[in-house]
Structure 1
């Protein structure tokens, strides 16, 4: 399987090179040259598999022969051995509400599903092919800690994670900044997540700097992130549909950067019987507005909400969707994104807007509705939702045969949960004692130059250089 750039400026590359490249060298995102198709008989067979065996089958379609099957199996088994639930991503039912729990990994967030695998995959490729990797990423909450836990202590890897100072939950911040392994570097930027993400993209687009310092990506711009997340859509469908290929299931997905719901879109394109994919956003509703109007436009500001991991204006993975919406026409994608960069908005034609409405539903959920949903679900079932999951549950109201993705453990959002139901969620072992640990972090202005200088200073000491 080869990979292409959404902007058309990269010669086809194999899976390993795509993973190590992260962001394409022309500024685009990497996508497979074709989407593998899964027939009804295969779906039925897959529905009987455990998570690890299913992951092996799904990933093999995109990895091809670049990684021997037994090596890939070992990577998968090692990655999910860190999860506390035997099913890895179980589907639970609460008074008719189906929840896909994605928070049983080491940082209690859905990002672990992809980043435990990606960390081991990086290590495998670096050991096989030689060399070092300096990971640079931005986080709105959960990606940073999941990425750090995925690569902490790995000899050939240094990791630099940017987060918006004061705009992640206290527990999310401590999950990152209390990891004191020598290869972990946390940077708090004085700005928003979009500022941090813009800095990361700018440094990846500085091809000389990227090459000299061997930068790699863990954000959902890395194709392996999307691929690993696709697995749990197949797994959840199998638990509910019980192998009936005619059974169509909908999914409600809280999303900010479009990566999680794009993984569901990929699964649907592969042949998974998905009825509707519901994009659930908070007040930062650029994706909801696009589905409603066909116009993708930056708002006045990034609003700080109870669901901080979704406090995003510009959704990186939306570019991948545009590529498929325009049938792989990379020239049009490039033109639209250049327009977006100039004016802060882009608009698709009526036919494409109709297609987007066929692909997705969307709903924006306020903080008041988020709290009310946490309260209502707890009153009805005793089950506690994190604020992001509550956004998805609220957006799913009134729908049948729908699975809501639970993207984080509620204990990560102490204030929001306490304000909604008057108590805190019990902490999993992975979160206990975090607030008592000493943090290590550097504060910087939200500028490319400041972050670039910090990377240069750190790596010039010999770490990853």
Structure 2
């Protein structure tokens, strides 16, 4: 039987439903299963199948305690008419390479792939407390997770959601997406600090035993997470790697068994970790390339073996990647260290106490056999947005542009075909894109959307353009140490 335990100890023995409901382990670690990779996915059987059928094949392996009817119900509700492309994550040619669009969901960001299905997973995790117990999702966001989580959990029965975002450090469109969110069970609050400050405090809130006990006793509320620290948020992302491969085989662009390289813009390491899970499940992946922005803590780690978060924090034009503590790296280190939970516990203690850790040289060597890395500065990001439009007639957002730069800077591995993950719609960052393309960016963000659409002939997603007239519901701002009290207030209203 597949069970889950913390990356930092092996004392837990949870089902996937229990791990999803709990979100994060009591010791602060992330839930993993030692059986990952024991059962693989038959890649050949996926060619020609719908995204929904591919999702069922992959998630059946990753979440075996979900019954067939449960899983198909979750998948059907998550990947339906709310998507603008029936392939969900379509792959398109981009010169000699390919781009996989992950932004065709209801909030125009890759987070939709997981956060449309996570609330459905949650609904099947009824605990021993029964229907009286409610789940409060508490999440910190660097930009995209917040809205995607809000859209998924708004008015979902038996749940509430509280989202924290760093004040002044998300794009205006991202902020409006969150602060205009409808729903009686939602709360949105800015935090005076950066994403890492908010994320660290959220983890402390989960670890505050007295606070959690009070919520359970007085409000019948348990806390869980919608960040990719939650295994139920991570595993749906594995599906689109298999979907990309199946699409390319079906189109005749690759032969079955041919290896691919995936280039992934990432800050919290969740999106690219899903690619590593896909590789462990049997997908022919030659390399996974981490693309960072100016906050290049992952680049430094993957090249030196030292992870050091004590460094300048830069607010960039790719705000969703402005992260110095990449939480999901912990899961990768667990598997790459041959499941050495004692080592992981020591490394994370060093990170907490000293702000840095160093992995053994042999472990770094092993990591480097799978992961490549590169990063782009602000000027390079802008130049790549222009280059991609001028060369291919394809508009990309600044996060995807980080990956586009890294993909073209690194030598191609033995003629391996490459897939760039496009993580967000360019219309979430219209001012930056207009500036990069030499267009008029002097008006509001909504005027910038209109300029971009007219110049490129691309359609503005209605859910973004309509934000201009949406009423703002949330204007709360707290200090980091006020976040726990805010969560308590939100829980009391459930």
TM range (shorter): over 0.9
User: Secondary structure of the equivalent of 1:445?
Assistant: strand
Aligned to 2:110: 110
Per-residue deviation, 1:444: 3.1
Aligned to 2:149: 147
User: Secondary structure of the equivalent of 2:330?
Assistant: helix
Name the CA distance, whole Å, in 2 between partners of 1:371 and 1:381: 16
Per-residue deviation, 1:247: 0.3
Per-residue deviation, 1:68: 1.8
The 5 A counterparts of 1:149-188 are: 149-188=151-190
Aligned to 1:124: 124
Per-residue deviation, 1:9: 5.4
Aligned to 1:372: 383
User: Secondary structure of the equivalent of 1:162?
Assistant: strand
Per-residue deviation, 1:299: 4.0
Segments of 5+ residues of structure 2 without an aligned counterpart are 216-221, 440-450, 454-458
Segments of 5+ residues of structure 1 without an aligned counterpart are none
User: Secondary structure of the equivalent of 1:396?
Assistant: helix
Mapped pair 1:222 → 2:230: yes
Per-residue deviation, 1:54: 0.6
Name the CA distance, whole Å, in 2 between partners of 1:211 and 1:372: 52
Name the CA distance, whole Å, in 1 between partners of 2:124 and 2:150: 17
Mapped pair 1:406 → 2:422: yes
Aligned to 1:453: 485
Name the CA distance, whole Å, in 2 between partners of 1:263 and 1:112: 15
The 5 A counterparts of 1:11-410 are: 11-37=12-38, 42-64=42-64, 66-81=65-80, 82-126=82-126, 129-130=130-131, 131-213=133-215, 214-242=222-250, 244-397=255-408, 398-399=411-412, 400-410=416-426
1:427 aligns with one of 452, 460, 464: 460
Q: Do 2:136 and 2:159's aligned partners in 1 also have CA atoms closer than 8 Å? A: yes
Aligned to 1:437: 470
Per-residue deviation, 1:440: 2.0
Q: Do 2:59 and 2:235's aligned partners in 1 also have CA atoms closer than 8 Å? A: yes
Q: Do 1:177 and 1:439's aligned partners in 2 also have CA atoms closer than 8 Å? A: yes
Q: Do 2:121 and 2:232's aligned partners in 1 also have CA atoms closer than 8 Å? A: no
* TM-score of the superposed pair, with normalisation by structure 1: 0.95
Deviates more, 1:72-81 or 1:204-213: 204-213
User: Secondary structure of the equivalent of 1:105?
Assistant: coil
Per-residue deviation, 1:161: 0.1
Name the CA distance, whole Å, in 1 between partners of 2:47 and 2:308: 40
- Name the CA shift for 1:316/1:346 in 2 (closer, same or farther; >3 Å): same
Query: What is the count of residue pairs matched by the alignment?
Result: 459
User: Secondary structure of the equivalent of 1:13?
Assistant: coil
Deviations, residues 177-196 of structure 1 (Å, cap 9, x unaligned): 10131111001001100111
Name the CA distance, whole Å, in 2 between partners of 1:220 and 1:373: 28
* TM-score of the superposed pair, with normalisation by structure 2: 0.90
Deviations, residues 90-145 of structure 1 (Å, cap 9, x unaligned): 00113333110000100000000000000122133349952211110000000000
Deviations, residues 307-346 of structure 1 (Å, cap 9, x unaligned): 0000000001011111112111111110111111111110
